[in-house]
């Protein structure tokens, strides 16, 4: 008989520590089927990680332990590699797709390079869909967009996860351009509300423009299937459709998940002004008029609210005045994401606002831009300084265009987001 008091004082067993788990590679992968809601065909699997039997078996506890130990990147890499190798061994290959999650804190090209090499060396084609959340784009905008572009060049697709759980996911859809939009499970499991109707409108508008596929999570009943279809989903996952298991479904009818063609987030231009469509009329204006136009766009952003992104350039930090910083602080309280970019602007110039400085040769030093992007609104003031040397500030002149062309606004927003790097770690 085991002495209970001995167990209580012996401390954690080796297999229950994150260090032992990482050293021995004690993670495993289970696969949950993703099903076409009309045909019932299995079109993909999501790879889900599990720890060793014990307190770290649950993924939330496993990743929390790694985060506390400062070894999250190691665990995330181990889970992704294990997922891909397990999928190859289980023959989850074309035409089926493999959904793999990634932690927001460590999304960058370097952390995924080894996984790309494993995929290339695989026996057979592995069609990977990388799942990211809005937290990843908010935490590391420049790195994430560069990573997504690199992966798409290699044939991977992107899914935006938990859409509707936070409004920021709706704000970032157009910037990330996911081929799959994964609806948060509450949308199919809760009673319809005005908020759910708003999310449905935003997601379907994006899907109509982009051709993206909508996936509903949390399907546990036949009623959930009907709700998912009504929300616009064509594929889904949940316990009704299949629980996570160590192997793919034996008797499943395999289907094909058709996704839109490769959409690159790579910058086609060095500056927002260069994103203007050919033939756009460019007019001159002095600074006082452009100040009022900028304020008008800020007010439009406030009307759009929590699903809106505001990105602005100020040439240099001294143009981000006390009055401007106060307005942007108020903006940050109402919209999803605000960034102020200019030479000498710190990473956090004012509460809630992300800042980014500019290199001496960056063309944005000559631009005054403000971009406002939301699911149903897109506008940008894009201006280039053409003032003569020594002209008083209030008399400076800019060539500018005010555009509501959504593709141009999105392109300008991506250019600006590519300057916004990760915040430094908290002390």
Confidence (pLDDT) at 135: 81
- Name the percent of the chain lying above pLDDT 70: 89
Query: Could you give the count of Cα atoms lying within 13 Å of 404 in the half-sphere of its Cβ?
Result: 4
Whether the Cβ atoms of residue 364 and residue 419 lie closer than 8 Å to each other? yes
Q: Could you report the per-residue pLDDT of 72-81, keeping only the tens digit for each?
A: 888 888 888 8
Q: What is the dihedral of CA 198, 203, 209, 215, to 10 degrees?
A: -160
- Name the percent of the chain lying above pLDDT 90: 69
DSSP assignments along 340-400, one per residue = EEEET--SSSBTTBEEE---TT-GGGGEEEEEEEETTEEEEEEEEE-PPTT--GGG-EEEE
Confidence (pLDDT) at 80: 85
Cα distance between residue 115 and residue 392, in whole Å: 55
17, pLDDT greater than 50: yes
For helices 72-89 and 109-120, the axis angle rounded to 10 degrees is 20
Domains (range + CATH), the chain: 21-236 (3.20.20.450), 272-417 (3.30.870)
Q: Could you report the per-residue pLDDT of 261-318, keeping only the tens digit for each?
A: 855 544 567 899 999 998 899 999 999 999 999 999 999 999 999 999 999 999 999 9
pLDDT category at 383 given cuts 50, 70, 90 is: very high
Q: How many CB atoms lie within 10 A of CB 118?
A: 14
Confidence (pLDDT) at 269: 74
Q: Could you report the per-residue pLDDT of 72-121, keeping only the tens digit for each?
A: 888 888 888 899 889 989 989 888 999 998 776 666 555 566 666 766 66
**Which residues have C-beta within 8 Å of that of residue 54, sequence separation ≥ 6?**
13, 15, 16
pTM for the predicted model, two decimal places: 0.89
pLDDT category at 4 given cuts 50, 70, 90 is: very low
| Lookup: tokens for 93 | 């290959």
Confidence (pLDDT) at 265: 47
Cα distance between residue 262 and residue 51, in whole Å: 34
């Amino acid at each position: 008989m085991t002495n209970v008091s001995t167990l209580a004082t012996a401390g954690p067993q080796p297999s229950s520590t994150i260090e032992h788990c990482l050293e021995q590679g004690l993670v495993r992968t289970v696969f949950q089927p993703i099903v076409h809601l009309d045909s019932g065909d299995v079109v993909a699997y999501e790879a889900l990680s599990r720890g060793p039997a014990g307190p770290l078996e649950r993924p939330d506890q496993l990743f929390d332990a790694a985060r506390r130990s400062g070894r999250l990147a190691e665990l995330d890499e181990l889970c992704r590699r294990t997922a891909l190798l397990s999928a190859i061994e289980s023959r989850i290959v074309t035409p089926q797709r493999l959904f793999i999650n990634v932690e927001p804190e460590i999304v960058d090209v370097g952390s995924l390079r080894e996984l790309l090499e494993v995929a290339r060396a695989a026996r057979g084609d592995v069609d990977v869909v990388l799942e990211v959340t809005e937290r990843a784009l908010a935490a590391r905008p420049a790195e994430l967009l560069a990573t997504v572009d690199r992966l798409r060049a290699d044939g991977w697709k992107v899914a935006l996860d938990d859409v509707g759980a936070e409004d920021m996911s709706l704000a970032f859809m157009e910037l990330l351009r996911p081929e799959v939009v994964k609806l948060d499970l509450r949308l199919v499991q809760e009673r319809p509300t005005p908020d759910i109707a708003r999310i449905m409108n935003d997601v379907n508008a994006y899907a109509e423009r982009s051709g993206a596929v909508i996936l509903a999570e949390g399907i546990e009943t036949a009623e959930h299937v009907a709700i998912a279809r009504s929300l616009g989903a064509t594929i889904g996952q949940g316990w009704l459709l299949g629980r996570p298991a160590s192997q793919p479904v034996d008797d499943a009818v395999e289907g094909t998940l058709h996704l839109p063609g490769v959409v690159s987030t790579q910058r086609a231009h060095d500056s927002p002004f260069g994103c203007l469509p050919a033939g756009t009329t460019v007019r001159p204006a002095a600074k006082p008029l452009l100040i009022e136009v900028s304020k008008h766009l800020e007010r439009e952003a406030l009307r759009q609210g929590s699903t809106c992104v505001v990105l602005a350039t100020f040439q240099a930090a001294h143009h981000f005045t006390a009055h401007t910083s106060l307005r942007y602080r108020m903006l940050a309280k109402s919209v999803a994401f605000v960034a102020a970019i200019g030479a000498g602007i710190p990473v956090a110039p004012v509460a809630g606002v992300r800042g980014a400085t500019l290199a001496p040769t960056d063309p944005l030093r000559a631009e005054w831009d403000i971009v406002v992007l939301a699911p149903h609104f897109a506008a940008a003031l894009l201006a280039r300084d053409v003032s003569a040397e020594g002209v008083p500030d209030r008399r400076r002149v800019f060539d500018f265009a005010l555009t509501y062309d959504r593709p141009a606004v999105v392109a300008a927003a991506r250019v600006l987001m590519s300057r916004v790097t990760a915040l430094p770690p908290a002390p």
